[in-house]
Amino acid sequence: MDAKIDGKRLPGYPGPDEDWPIHTITGEPCLRFDWTKTNKDKVNLEGIEKVMKWVLASGATEVKHAATGLAHILTGDLRKRCFIKFNYMRTQWRTFNKKKGKDLGAGRTGDGAQGAGPGGAGEGGAPNGDGEQMEEEEQDEGKSRGVLRVRAEKTAEQRKRKVAGTQWEDAKYAAAFLPNAMSDNEDNAVEPGQPKTYLARAPWYRSKLQQDIFDTLDERADPNPDKAKAMVSRVRGPVKQDIEPPKARRVDTALRVWQVDEQALSDNPHWLTSGRVVANGRLWGDAEDPVHEGPASRRGKGRGGGPPKIRRPEGTADVSEARARFKAATAGVDIDDLFAS
């Protein structure tokens, strides 16, 4: 089966005079979306819910490597991913059909329109013109990242306040309090009348030492009661799968080797050469600290106008091992030649 998704291969929504397509193997009506309308349209929402149910019921069996993630994913996260995929597919369909001169606003209309399957009722939403803005869900996705960043910064600040007088106050653990090292504090559903809480979801690659630091500090009282009152309580949620350490523009905002699980780093040596993880530095016994290649401007740009590069000390064991594994995996072939057509 050709699984490629593009506008040419995506079927449109059946018209009022068309027979509803039937699956040749199961004999069941095929799922169809109305690409002329947004993901807020009733028919499309019903279709997305059907996709979600299938993913939860059969996704782990059909796609083996997704089993771990599906075992822990929250319904809200799965729905968000389905919305993003729907928006992508809809854009593909609209782009292809716009080039063919098709009226992109000519979808189903009226209360008697079919739903996501034969006989279903759907509401005909207002058609979107060619100047349509980005989908609200896509805007929310960008907004969510900004919100999570602010929450991470507040959590990091509180833990910095709590660290005084502990062994973690040593400068070698400074990276533990970077916003990039914090868990994602997501919105948490609570019963009416209950105080608001965040669902703290730790990344799967976090080291035990980093987690132990957080667990110890989170049990301590905040030395600033006024700021403590402004903090939203956090409850531990499921581990966040299928993510990587965030890329850092500067050495002082990047995660260090000690903060990342040893096996995770061994399986992903490219993190050490892509700005996601940097060497521990001299305080941890390395020959030197990781540094930028050249000075950065006030805007965080390097001499060439792009993001500043981070030079990894060649003498550290983790970098040497990463390069050795990379060389073995590529059998000494130049990386560009591997992707030559």
CA–CA separation, 32 and 43 (whole Å): 9
Torsions phi, psi for 215 (to 5 deg) = -60, -40
Q: For 197, list phi and psi in degrees, rounded to 5.
A: -135, 160
The pLDDT of residue 95: 85
The identity of residue 104, as a single letter, is L
Give residue 157's pLDDT.
96
For residue 261, the model assigns a pLDDT of: 96
233-265 pLDDT, tens digit each: 999 889 998 899 999 888 999 999 999 999 999
pLDDT at 109: 55
Closest Cα partner for 287 from 255, 261, 254, 319? 319
235's enclosing H/E stretch is strand 233-236
Q: What is the DSSP letter of 128?
A: P
Residues 6+ apart with CB under 8 A from 99: none
Q: Give the pLDDT of residue 310.
A: 57
Cβ atoms of residues 37 and 107 within 8 Å: yes
CA 167 to chain centre: 33
DSSP 175: G
Q: How far is the first Cα of the chain from the last one, in angstroms, to the nearest whole number?
A: 24
Which tokens belong to 157? 């600040």
Structure-derived torsion over alpha carbons of residues 102, 106, 107, 113, reported in degrees to the nearest 10:
-140
- The single-letter code of the amino acid at 164 is A
**How many CA within 13 A on the CB side of residue 216?**
15
Integer Cα distance of 37 and 126 in angstroms: 8
Distance CA 98, CA 35 (A): 12
Contact 254, 275 (CB under 8 A): yes
242 touches 182 (CB < 8 A): no
The two three-digit tokens of residue 196, written as one number: 């608001």
Q: What is the Cα–Cα distance from 20 to 35, expressed in whole angstroms?
A: 16
Rounded-to-integer distance, Cα 94 and Cα 72, Å:
34
Using alpha carbons, select from 46, 303, 19 the residue that is nearest to residue 292.
Answer: 303
Contact indicator for 214, 162 with CB cutoff of 8 Å: no
pLDDT-flagged residues of the chain (< 50)? 1-2, 110-143, 294-298, 300-305, 341
* Tens digits of residue pLDDT in 276-286: 999 999 999 99
